[in-house]
Amino acid sequence: MPNQPSPLLERLVNVPVIPVLEYHSVDDALHVSEALVAGGLPLLEITLRTPVALEAIQAVAKALPQAVVGAGTVLTVEQLHAVRDAGAQFAVSPGLTQKLADGAQGAGITLLPGVATASEAMAALESGFTFLKFFPAEAAGGVPMLKSLYGPLAQLKFCPTGGIDIVKAQHYLALPNVVCVGGSWVVPKDAVAAKDWGRIRKLAEEAARLCKG
């Protein structure tokens, strides 16, 4: 299977962070997403971890056409189709099965599959994926692991996610094989509870200023 560049890479040229989002109401989804986009983070990963996730994806995609809405925690081909139909432009999975890899071909949505080892990265490459999520980043070896993967697998690009904050993000972004990082630190739970959208926008602005490799 030929390895084609991920269309998602083109959207990440000046975007160092993809917020990983868990929404419990559509109203929160709209306000938080608006604050993130206004702060300079237009790519949003809305995870399928809550009952309102699909509705939130649909609402944000419709209300914020300038955003690039994605879906996270996609585990099956059925979910891949569901998030595409809801308006997601990309999907993120914590790992990669052969069934999901096959189902992503021609599905009309870009898949960012997760890997944690060299063998998993090689399997993803065989399935045609060259842009991968490194997950769970900190638990799977962090920056040293990605440095080690660069030598034998320099053709791969990564979005490390899992346990990353703004300080750690800078170390990941300095690596030649890291395009961006995924993180939830830009949307603190207490800020959402207090409906402090201004604080979230400031955190997004801070994250958007991070320099990449």
pLDDT band (50, 70, 90) for residue 159: very high
Indicate the domain borders of the chain: 15-207
Average pLDDT score over residue span 72-92: 98
Q: Which CATH class, in words, describes the domain spanning 15-207? A: alpha beta
Q: Of the ranges 9-13, 109-113, 137-141, 160-164, which one carries the lowest mean pLDDT score?
A: 9-13
Asked if 186 and 208 count as a contact pair (C-beta separation under 8 A), the reply is no
Q: Which residues are designated catalytic?
A: 45, 133
Collapsing DSSP to helix, strand or coil, 38 comes out as: helix
Q: Does residue 81 carry a pLDDT above 70? A: yes
pTM score over 0.85: yes
Collapsing DSSP to helix, strand or coil, 28 comes out as: helix
Average pLDDT score over residue span 87-104: 97
* pLDDT for the residue 212: 78
Q: What is the pLDDT of residues 6-38, one digit of tens each?
A: 889 888 888 999 999 999 999 999 999 999 999
* pLDDT for the residue 7: 83
* pLDDT for the residue 100: 98
Asked if 57 and 83 count as a contact pair (C-beta separation under 8 A), the reply is yes
Q: 149 vs 51, 140, 166, 199, CA distance in Å?
A: 37, 12, 23, 36
